Structure 1
């Protein structure tokens, strides 16, 4: 039998603090286009939540609303995802 992996999913105050930490780490700028992101905008998960992304600093990055939309809904979203992964790997040295 394959053991089930427990994903990290936060809510409430813990999720709010995590979102603030991502915003601070990324200096309130989109990691794709460097545009200012309004405080309170939810960070993007990379890998996507549906692909195993978790609520932790190493899996989240700030994207402006336009880039976030493109990441999920356009062909160029693949390129944006690669850029976000590269950014996060420089911060956390992901082993993929």
Structure 2
């Protein structure tokens, strides 16, 4: 039987630290277009929706424009794939 991956839900200082760590890892730049992004923003979960998990291997920095496009335009699949490929290049295949 396949095991469901346990999703992590962080709050408060732990979530703030994760956000900081993701921004540090991604050098405060959008992984899609390279624009500087302040860590006053929140990282983007990939995958998003019910599968999202508060983990270093499940978050990326996206600027507002690319984040909007990820959810609301015909570029959503392209951006989703770039996010997944980026995370896979850092962490390998995720179960």
TM over 0.5: yes
What's the secondary structure of 1:54's corresponding residue? coil
CA distance in 2, matches of 1:4, 1:87: 23
CA distance in 2, matches of 1:64, 1:94: 25
Aligned to 1:25: 25
> C-alpha offsets along residues 6-30 of structure 1, whole Å, 9 cap, x if unaligned?
4210010000000000000000000
> C-alpha offsets along residues 27-71 of structure 1, whole Å, 9 cap, x if unaligned?
000000011001211010111132x12000000000000000110
Alignment of 1:1-96 (within 5 A): 6-50=6-50, 52-95=51-94
Q: 1:90 to 1:74 in 2, by over 3 A?
A: same
Q: CA RMSD in A?
A: 1.8
CA distance in 1, matches of 2:3, 2:80: 28
Q: 1:13 to 1:4 in 2, by over 3 A?
A: same
What's the secondary structure of 2:35's corresponding residue? coil
Question: What is the TM-score with the length of structure 1 in the denominator?
Answer: 0.89
Report how many residues are paired: 94
Unaligned runs of at least 5 residues, structure 1: none
Unaligned runs of at least 5 residues, structure 2: none
Cα distance, 1:92 vs structure 2: 0.3
CA distance in 2, matches of 1:42, 1:48: 13
